[in-house]
């Protein structure tokens, strides 16, 4: 971590925009830090934001080689008859997984969503079980799914925070599929439909993700934008109009980019220190981080950051590669802004009998 030149960005942070929404979250996509929020743990109807979990499970199946983008899916009568927004699939037709993904992202097609859920899960009920199991794995404690589309049903709910967690996972776990969310149009069955995410048309830094609307949920939008290497995720739920969900999301993103910055501090698997090791084959041990460390902080405060390495005074072999041996804290003054475990970058087995005997003598003096 190097000390930068003086930063003349403002250091006084105004309150986040006052949004006419039931709830919202602004999260940094690298660090997962919540920058701003309102009612972020309150349970709400997600409407078509639900489809992000359907897409998450689809991406996971693609990544694992269980399905392929070129696979052709036969459209069932159930999928064809699903109400609400549609891709306009024909019953019995064969449609590729890629085209169904496009139909979900751009047209918010409930028919495409049902067809894909049946294909990935075997049937819709099993797929919903997969949705809820994955939600628990991701830490989405306020979420319960009843269907893969988001059509209103009792017991179907989520929270703005959970939607941010899911979006964070999509962006970081499936970078190869994330560009699908930037598509502006879909043309299928002679019908051309635009992406309902208005920010894609007005802000070139925005490249996803999903809109949602029902009478119960109001107008919802999850958006993400990348500016100068910093990516933010905005979740806005329960606004009164289509225009307000776009305007509120834009205001939230602009505020976050204006008053906060994300910095990469240390790369993964890079030696940050070489502490002494007792009773081992080596006298020192390279230690570092398992993953790259980022920090999100108020603009203008980067030069105040100080790293603090905490490791035991006497590390003793044997030590396995990847074993946690300490903690790295990043301080801004007296405040710890982030922490990460320090791991051994290579192993160190017990030394020979004479080496250990000498260390036993030295360690007591």
Mean pLDDT of 143-164: 96
CATH number of the domain to which 274 belongs: 2.60.410.10
Q: Which of 163-172, 198-207, 208-217, 275-284 has the lowest mean pLDDT?
A: 275-284
Bigger pLDDT: 300 vs 41: 41
Mean pLDDT of 255-275: 94
On whether both 127 and 163 belong to a single domain, the answer is yes
Strands (E), the chain: 23-28, 34-38, 72-74, 94-96, 185-188, 191-194, 206-214, 218-227, 230-239, 260-266, 277-278, 287-288, 293-298, 305-310, 315-316, 324-332, 335-344
Mean pLDDT of 129-152: 97
d(CA 162, CA 41): 8
Last residue of a domain, one of 229, 261, 293: 261
Q: Which of 140-149, 162-171, 246-255, 314-323 has the lowest mean pLDDT?
A: 314-323
Residue 14 has pLDDT above 50, yes or no: yes
Residue 132 has pLDDT above 50, yes or no: yes
On whether both 61 and 193 belong to a single domain, the answer is yes
Mean pLDDT of 142-171: 97
Residue 363: which residues within 8 A CB-CB, separation 6 or more? 278, 314
Give pLDDT tens digits for 38-51. Answer: 999 999 999 999 99
Mean pLDDT of 159-168: 98
Give pLDDT tens digits for 33-87. Answer: 999 999 999 999 999 999 999 999 999 999 999 999 999 999 999 999 999 999 9
On whether both 154 and 286 belong to a single domain, the answer is no
Bigger pLDDT: 276 vs 47: 47
pLDDT confidence tier of residue 350, bands split at 50, 70 and 90? low
Could you tell me if residue 8 is inside a domain? no
Largest CA distance in the chain: 84
pLDDT cut 70: percent of the chain above it: 93
- Which tokens in the block code for residue 1? 């971590």
On whether both 201 and 158 belong to a single domain, the answer is yes
On whether both 223 and 343 belong to a single domain, the answer is no
Give the range of the structural domain holding residue 116, as residue numbers without chain letter: 23-261
pLDDT at 358: 42
On whether both 127 and 212 belong to a single domain, the answer is yes
On whether both 247 and 295 belong to a single domain, the answer is no
pLDDT at 352: 45
CATH number of the domain to which 29 belongs: 3.40.710.10
Contact 359, 279 (CB under 8 A): yes
Residue 353 has pLDDT above 90, yes or no: no
Could you tell me if residue 11 is inside a domain? no
Could you tell me if residue 16 is inside a domain? no
Last residue of a domain, one of 232, 261, 290: 261
Residues identified as active-site:
48, 51, 108
On whether both 335 and 212 belong to a single domain, the answer is no
pLDDT at 272: 92
d(CA 357, CA 337): 42
Could you tell me if residue 17 is inside a domain? no
On whether both 179 and 242 belong to a single domain, the answer is yes
Could you tell me if residue 9 is inside a domain? no
Mean of all residue pLDDT scores within the chain:
92
Could you tell me if residue 13 is inside a domain? no
CA distances, 40 to each of 63, 228, 326 (Å) = 30, 27, 33
On whether both 187 and 44 belong to a single domain, the answer is yes
In the chain, the number of structural domains is 2
pLDDT at 26: 98
Last residue of a domain, one of 239, 261, 283: 261
Could you tell me if residue 75 is inside a domain? yes
State pTM to two decimals. Answer: 0.88
On whether both 249 and 274 belong to a single domain, the answer is no
On whether both 27 and 99 belong to a single domain, the answer is yes
Residue 356 has pLDDT above 50, yes or no: no
Could you tell me if residue 118 is inside a domain? yes
């Amino acid at each position: 971590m190097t000390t930068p030149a003086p930063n003349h960005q403002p250091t006084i942070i105004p309150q986040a925009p006052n949004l006419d929404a039931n709830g919202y979250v602004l999260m940094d996509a690298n660090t997962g830090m919540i920058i701003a929020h309102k009612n972020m743990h309150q349970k709400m109807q997600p409407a078509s934001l639900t489809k992000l979990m359907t897409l998450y499970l689809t991406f996971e199946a693609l990544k694992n080689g269980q399905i392929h983008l070129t696979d052709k899916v036969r459209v069932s009568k159930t999928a064809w008859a699903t109400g609400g927004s549609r891709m306009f699939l024909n019953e019995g037709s064969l449609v590729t997984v890629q085209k169904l993904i496009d139909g979900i992202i751009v047209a918010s097609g409930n028919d495409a969503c049902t067809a894909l859920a049946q294909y990935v899960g075997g049937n819709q009920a099993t797929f919903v079980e997969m949705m809820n199991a994955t939600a628990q794995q991701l830490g989405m404690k306020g979420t319960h799914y009843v269907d893969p589309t988001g059509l209103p049903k009792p017991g179907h709910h989520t929270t703005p925070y959970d939607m941010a967690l899911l979006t964070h996972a999509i962006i970081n776990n499936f970078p190869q599929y994330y560009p699908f969310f930037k598509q502006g149009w879909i043309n299928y069955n002679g019908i051309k439909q635009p992406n309902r995410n208005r920010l894609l048309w007005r802000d070139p830094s925005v490249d996803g993700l999903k809109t949602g609307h029902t009478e119960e949920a109001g107008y919802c939008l999850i958006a993400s934008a990348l500016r100068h290497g910093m990516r933010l995720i905005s979740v806005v739920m329960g606004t009164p109009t289509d225009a307000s969900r776009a305007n509120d999301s834009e205001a939230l993103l602009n505020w976050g980019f204006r008053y906060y910055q994300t910095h990469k501090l240390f790369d993964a698997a890079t030696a940050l220190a070489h502490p002494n090791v007792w009773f081992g084959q080596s006298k020192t041990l390279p230690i570092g981080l398992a993953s790259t460390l980022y920090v999100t902080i108020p603009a203008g405060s980067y030069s105040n950051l100080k790293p603090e390495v905490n490791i035991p005074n006497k590390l003793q072999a044997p030590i396995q590669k990847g074993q946690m041996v300490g903690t790295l804290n990043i301080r801004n003054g007296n405040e710890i802004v982030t922490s990460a475990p320090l791991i051994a970058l290579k192993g160190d087995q017990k030394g020979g009998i004479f080496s250990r005997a000498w260390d036993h003598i030295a360690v007591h003096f």
